[in-house]
Amino acid sequence: MNFEAARQLVASVTHWHHRFEIYPEVITPGSYDPGFLLDEIGFPADLTGQRVLDIGPSDGFFSLAAQKLGAHVVAVDYRAKDAHGFGAMERITGRSFEYHCANIFDLDASKLGTFDHVLFLGVLYHLPDMMKALAIVRSLRHGAMYIESNAANELPQHIALARYYEQDTLAGDITNFWSPNAACIRDMAKDCAFDLVTDKTWGDRYFGRYTVNNDPARRRKMQLGYGLLA
């Protein structure tokens, strides 16, 4: 790969979401610069021997960052890798990833295994059943989860609430279903047997870092609700 080939390959992708330097002096024309969120995640300097699951990786910025630190990265998206920039990222960087074209509601730890780190970034509010999705994420991990989501800052913040958006009334995007406030995300995560480490909000966004809780009593609600978290 050289500069011109990288530039042409970037230009061949219809839409980029992530804006980042994919090759020296070649910047993807995305609308979202994810560098600050990588800083918030704060991966260990060495991920050698660790498994990272990237749910909804988009153009692969975070998958690439984790692999550069030595992780085995598994990426899962409902789109094929060439339907967004992920496939181009692989070709430009000369790296390959274990990539599954699948729906989050079909993910199964018996097939994928479990993970030291799960990236659940910009996905939650696109899902019609947020609780089931979080329970599935919990079943796939034994280390850390990093969640980022749209968050309803216009709702009262002292009680767990979420606003539902019909059709494309949130940002003109028909794939948007919910806008939970920070309290709602915390409470849903707690009932899915996650423990909050730290979180923050800015504007209409939320980011939280969580670990798992293995107390059987904490898994009971999701066992009853979905038959998950055995």
Residue with tokens 């609430």: 161
CA proximity to 16, closest of 82, 63, 99, 67: 82
Q: Could you tell me the mean pLDDT of each successive run of 10 residues in the chain, 230 residues long?
A: 96 96 97 96 97 98 98 97 96 98 95 96 97 95 94 93 96 95 97 97 97 92 83
Structure tokens at 104: 């989050």
Q: Taking a C-beta distance cutoff of 8 angstroms, is the pair 129, 105 a contact?
A: yes
The reported pLDDT for the residue numbered 230 is 63
- The second-level CATH assignment, the architecture, of 33-226 is 3-Layer(aba) Sandwich (3.40)
Residue with tokens 């329970």: 135
The reported pLDDT for the residue numbered 142 is 87
Q: Is 224 exposed, middle or buried (0-12, 13-18, 19+ CB in 10 A)?
A: exposed
- Total-model pTM: 0.95
Q: Taking a C-beta distance cutoff of 8 angstroms, is the pair 86, 3 a contact?
A: no
The reported pLDDT for the residue numbered 1 is 86
HEC profile of 98-121: EEEECCHHHCCHHHHCCEEEEEEE
CA distance 12 to 18: 15
